[in-house]
Amino acid sequence: MTLAAQLEQGLLVLGIDLPNLARNQLLAYAALLDKWNKTYRLTGQKDPSLTVSHHLLDSLAILPFVDGTTLLDVGSGGGMPGIPLAIARPDLRVVLLDSNSKKTAFLQQVAIELGLANVAVHCGRVEAYRPTARFSVISARAFADLAELVTLSRHLLQRDGHWLAMKGLRPLGEMANLSVDVVVDAVHRLNVPGVTGERHLVVMSSDQARH
């Protein structure tokens, strides 16, 4: 099955309808990811036939839970889930943050080549990042455990904002280690077309941010 057909079928299963421009941008992103991955090891996934399922669809599976106008993708790496979300939501302002300069160079190139005007890239450590405004959503995929994610990025979440942490197995131990002022609002089991392992999304917010 071609990557385009995989994407088409996957979007149908996820119930996500995207215009042709967005679909083309997603496929162009997949091609760039595979090309750069040969040199820069952007992801651990080496099989190009799995790029659509394990990167594009996996990222887009959390789209229904992105509530807000600004998103910070922490430890963005090769751009997941930030770039697919930015493509699907042109109204969403997305900052891709990573401390690896080779990875941020790739992310910058993607934003330029795909014409993603709603994407900005920042190279640096999340705990040292001091933007002018906080974010309504902070996303992370395979970045750190939940407690560390919260500790490092708490200063970047706006009042009533949410963390969206993408995990494999349901992270019961990690949730138990969260500080008392962090609320787990929901844990969603994600069914990602073409991905056999378990995928979960942990939605968290801070009691402190609400007062």
Measure the CA–CA gap between 6 and 53, rounded to whole angstroms: 8
Q: How many helices (H) does the chain have, and how many strands (E)?
A: 8, 7
Over the Cα atoms of the chain, what is R_g? Answer: 16
Residue 32 tokens read as 């760039």
SS3 per residue for 48-93: HHHHHHHHHHHHHCCHHHCCCCEEEEECCCCCCCHHHHHHHCCCCE
Cβ proximity of 85 and 59 under 8 Å? yes
126 is in an annotated binding site: yes
Residue 144 tokens read as 């750190």
DSSP for 165-204 reads: EEESS--HHHHHTS-TTEEEEEEEEE--TT--S-EEEEEE
Measure the CA–CA gap between 171 and 176, rounded to whole angstroms: 9
Residue 127 tokens read as 């705990």
Question: Residues forming the annotated binding site?
Answer: 75, 80, 126-127, 141
Question: Residues forming the annotated binding site for S-adenosyl-L-methionine?
Answer: 75, 80, 126-127, 141
